[in-house]
Structure 1
Amino acid sequence: MITALTSAYARTVRKESGGPGLLLAHGGGGSVESNFGAILDALAEGHSVVGVDYPGTGGTPRATEPLELDELADQLVAAADAEGLERFAVLGYSLGGNVAVRIAARYPQRVTALVLTASFARAGHRLGLITDLWAELARRGDGELLARLLVPLSLSPQVLKGMTGEQVEEAVRATAASYPPGGGDHAALVKGADLRADLARIDVPALVIATTADPLVPLEVQRELADSLPGARWAELATGHLPFVENPGEWAELVTGYLAGLPTDRG
Structure 2
Amino acid sequence: MTSTVDVGDAELAYTDTGSGHPVVWLHGSGPGATGLSNFGGNLPAFADHRNVVVDLPGWGRSPRPATDEPLIFHAADRVVRAMDALGVERAHLVGNSYGGAVAMRIAMKYPERVERLVLMAPGGVLPPDAPPWPVGLEHLFGYMAAEKPSRDAMAQFVRLMVYDESLATEELIDERYESSLRAHPELPIPPNFGDLTPDLRLIGAPTLLVWGRDDQTVPLSWAPRILHGIADAELRVLPNCRHWVQYERAPEFNHIVREFLRGGPAAAER
Does structure 2 conserve the Cα–Cα contact (< 8 Å) formed by 1:5 and 1:12? Answer: yes
Change in 2 beyond 3 A, CA 1:197/1:182: farther
Taking the aligned partners of 1:187 and 1:32, their CA distance within structure 2 comes to: 23
Taking the aligned partners of 1:89 and 1:189, their CA distance within structure 2 comes to: 30
In the alignment, is residue 5 of structure 1 matched against residue 4 of structure 2?
yes
Taking the aligned partners of 1:27 and 1:154, their CA distance within structure 2 comes to: 12
Taking the aligned partners of 2:5 and 2:96, their CA distance within structure 1 comes to: 22
Shift of 1:58: 2.5
Taking the aligned partners of 1:188 and 1:44, their CA distance within structure 2 comes to: 38
Bigger fraction of residues in helix: 1
Q: Which residue number in structure 2 is paired with residue 53 of structure 1?
A: 55
Does structure 2 conserve the Cα–Cα contact (< 8 Å) formed by 1:132 and 1:191? Answer: no
Structure 1, 220-229 or 80-89: larger mean CA deviation: 220-229
In the alignment, is residue 82 of structure 1 matched against residue 85 of structure 2?
yes
Q: How many residues align?
A: 253
Does structure 2 conserve the Cα–Cα contact (< 8 Å) formed by 1:24 and 1:52? Answer: yes
- 1:18-37 equivalences in 2 (<5 Å): 19-29=20-30, 30-37=33-40
Q: Which residue number in structure 1 is paired with residue 267 of structure 2?
A: none
Q: Which residue number in structure 2 is paired with residue 97 of structure 1?
A: 100
In the alignment, is residue 233 of structure 1 matched against residue 239 of structure 2?
no
Shift of 1:97: 0.8
Q: Which residue number in structure 1 is paired with residue 76 of structure 2?
A: 73
- Pairwise CA RMSD of aligned residues? 3.0
Change in 2 beyond 3 A, CA 1:253/1:130: closer
Percent identity between matched residues is 29
Structure 1 unaligned residues grouped into runs of 5+: 263-267
Does structure 1 conserve the Cα–Cα contact (< 8 Å) formed by 2:36 and 2:53? Answer: no
Structure 2 unaligned residues grouped into runs of 5+: 265-270
Structure 1, 213-222 or 56-65: larger mean CA deviation: 56-65
Output the TM-score relative to the length of structure 1.
0.81
Taking the aligned partners of 1:43 and 1:187, their CA distance within structure 2 comes to: 36
1:147-169 CA deviation, whole Å, 9 max, x = no partner?
2541342121xx13xx49xx777
Structure 1, 19-28 or 223-232: larger mean CA deviation: 223-232
Does structure 2 conserve the Cα–Cα contact (< 8 Å) formed by 1:28 and 1:187? Answer: no
- 1:143-182 equivalences in 2 (<5 Å): 143-156=150-163, 159-160=164-165, 163=166, 175-182=176-183
Q: Which residue number in structure 1 is paired with residue 268 of structure 2?
A: none
Q: Which residue number in structure 2 is paired with residue 14 of structure 1?
A: 16
What is the identity, as a one-letter code, of the residue corresponding to 1:179? S
Output the TM-score relative to the length of structure 2.
0.80
SS in 1 for 2:115: strand
